[in-house]
Structure 1
């Protein structure tokens, strides 16, 4: 048990050193994953969710659908509670993950924000 803690502690230290060398501002999604202590399983679940939403988005777009708010709601509802939906979308967009879907989500958020301000 003590060895496992030491190994984990060493890994954490190494990650801290690497994060000082790498400009994590260039990788905001990875930074969110690290800062919010997302596990490998949680990360894989998120990527699976995004992949599914992206496939649905492209299918619906081909079918002529123009409102994708339900996909955004599904994303926010199924997103790990450690992550903020808006921050996660912005980070994914900046790193180039699922660009069409993230642009759509950003447009919906912007449109909804303007409507609320009126």
Structure 2
């Protein structure tokens, strides 16, 4: 039974990566998707990453409204919650190129 569950999760991962590859064929500048595939990141982890970025982006906007100009604590939170397989610098640059949460990652780029 364990082998079946493991096999099913591997098939799901391959199907997810195949979807990303098809998107990359249409638009080769999808650098974040390339990192996801290269590092074998699952769809669930990518969804969790996206949720993390949405939360951090919201916090950043709230802090900007309050007059904050330093967002290093948000960057530290990002580092702590980033999947360990992913390189921070590559993720930040890839997200900027792919226009994912661009304002957030442009800010994080200052801390690299």
- With the shorter chain as reference, the TM-score category is 0.7 to 0.9
Partner of 1:86: 89
Greater gyration radius: 1
| Residue 22 (str. 1) matches residue 25 (str. 2) | yes
Stretches of structure 1 lacking an aligned partner (at least 5 in a row): 110-118
| Residue 103 (str. 1) matches residue 106 (str. 2) | yes
Scaled by the length of structure 1, the TM-score of the pair is 0.74
Scaled by the length of structure 2, the TM-score of the pair is 0.77
The alpha carbon displacement at 1:108 in A equals 2.4
Q: CA RMSD in A?
A: 2.6
CA displacement 1:61-101 (0-9 Å, x = unmatched): 11000100011111011001111111101100110011111
Aligned length: 101
Q: Spell out structure 1 runs of 4+ moving beyond 4 A.
A: none
2: CA distance, partners of 1:108 / 1:60: 17
Stretches of structure 2 lacking an aligned partner (at least 5 in a row): none
